[in-house]
Amino acid sequence: MYRILTAFLLMTLLGTRAGAQRGDHLQPKPALLRLIDANLRQAVNQYKVLMGRVPADKLPKTWYVNGDRLETSDPGWWTSGFYSGTLFYLYEFSHDTALLREAQNRLRLLEPEQFNKGTHDLGFMMYCSFGNGLRLLSTPAYKDILLTSARSLSTRFNPTVGCIKSWDSKPWHYPVIIDNMMNLELLFWATQTSGDSSFYHVAVTHANTTIRNHYRPDYSSFHVVDYDSTTGAVIAKKTAQGFADSSAWARGQAWGLYGFTMVYRATHDARYLAQAEHIAHFLLTNPKLPADKIPYWDYDAPGIPANGGPSGPLRDASAAAIMASALIELSHYVQPAEARQYLDVAEQIIVTLSSNVYKPVVGSNGGFILRHSVGNLPGHTEVDVPLTYADYYFVEAMLRYRQLSTH
């Protein structure tokens, strides 16, 4: 029944593609815009529920339904910036000052992290939070904090390896994860803001090394590449959160798609656009991508049904939301036929995530917007739960789609 209803929703909201005229490849669908506005209004109310649950000195990570329990983090955790970032996005949509005040208050917790040289995730932590705040409010202090954050992130770059180091823990030597592509946006912003080209050099060198060593011939990505820090040689290609070293961990593939799309935006270098399109082709033509476009947590997870039906391994709403946001941006940089294909999939993802399978009623789900994300299944943490970054990229995707009408 769910598959029938989803198919009907898709036909109603998206309409037929037959006879599409040249020039309409970036036109939003009015019915989907209405659905998105309803989603965003609901998200505002959900985050007001979440706001009432988060302790003043913590930041939200997830909600465990069975235990009716909110899990939080300290500001140094990699997801710490998504809560303020989502609040800023929802304020941008609603102009609700309660959301703005909460976002600003939580930024105070994050301020000391600008000096944190022990993490590669300052892009996630600081740019998704302070970056959105600066974009909306033009607060000078936010710019200074972001520039300091970019300097701190740059200290983790090893020119011999050509990458920013991800983790300092054993048994790794010099591990670099595909997620790290997302943190480059902070460095590109710092280049444009400060005029200091060293940030740009770090970012493009990291991107180039990632293309060379993280990607397989089919343009799927390894999760972790471990390097020799002295010679720069590759020691091993592994996974930490995927099914196997050789598998295509779903969120990692989405990070790569988003990351190289963003790098093209920052550089206008055609090789990064080509990389993003190759990754998109791997994902969108993958026979293991379900018809509703919400990926299983790993494209090679055991038990994936041949027909891509609703049964099988856990889905990952966070990977879907990241992919939708990336595809909407990528559609601006390609030819009309490809643009329409990318938007088709992004639209399908938004519609599916808008169903009651993934989007709960207001007041439930601990105040989070989406259900059914997978954080680290091999590590038995954050499995089939709401996640703060799933919310962030879902809201971002919907706002990006709304902005199509202004282009």
Helices (H), ranges, 95-243: 97-110, 122, 132-137, 140-154, 184-194, 197-214
Whether 39 is covered by a domain: the verdict is: yes
Whether 316 sits among the annotated catalytic residues: the reply is: no
| Lowest-confidence region among 225-234, 382-391, 397-406 | 397-406
- Give me the percent of the chain exceeding a pLDDT of 90: 90
Angstrom distance (rounded) from CA 143 to CA 198:
18
Whether 328 is covered by a domain: the verdict is: yes
| Angle, vertex CA 126, rays to CA 125 and CA 127, nearest 5 | 110
Structurally, the chain folds into a number of domains equal to 1
Which of the following is catalytic: 121, 226, 298, 391?
A: 121
> DSSP state, 24?
-
Angstrom distance (rounded) from CA 85 to CA 72:
16
Bridge partners of 238, per DSSP, are 224
- Kindly state the helix (H) or strand (E) to which residue 60 belongs, with its residue range: strand 59-64
Domain that holds residue 312: 1-52+289-407
Which of the following is catalytic: 179, 226, 298, 316?
A: 179
Whether 257 is covered by a domain: the verdict is: no
Whether 243 is covered by a domain: the verdict is: no
Look up residue 184 and give its two tokens.
Answer: 């480059």
Whether 102 is covered by a domain: the verdict is: no
pLDDT digits (tens, 9 = 90+) for 56-88: 999 999 999 887 899 999 999 999 999 999 999
Whether 245 is covered by a domain: the verdict is: no
φ, ψ for residue 358 (rounded to 5)? -105, -25
Whether 190 is covered by a domain: the verdict is: no
pLDDT digits (tens, 9 = 90+) for 330-372: 999 999 999 999 999 999 999 999 999 999 999 999 999 999 9
- Kindly state the helix (H) or strand (E) to which residue 318 belongs, with its residue range: helix 317-330
pLDDT digits (tens, 9 = 90+) for 20-58: 333 456 899 999 999 999 999 999 999 999 999 999 999
Which CATH number covers residue 374?
1.50.10.10
Q: What is the largest CA-CA distance in the chain?
A: 58
Say whether pTM exceeds 0.85.
Answer: yes
pLDDT digits (tens, 9 = 90+) for 245-302: 999 999 999 999 999 999 999 999 999 999 999 999 999 999 999 999 999 999 999 9
Q: How many CB atoms lie within 10 A of CB 78?
A: 18
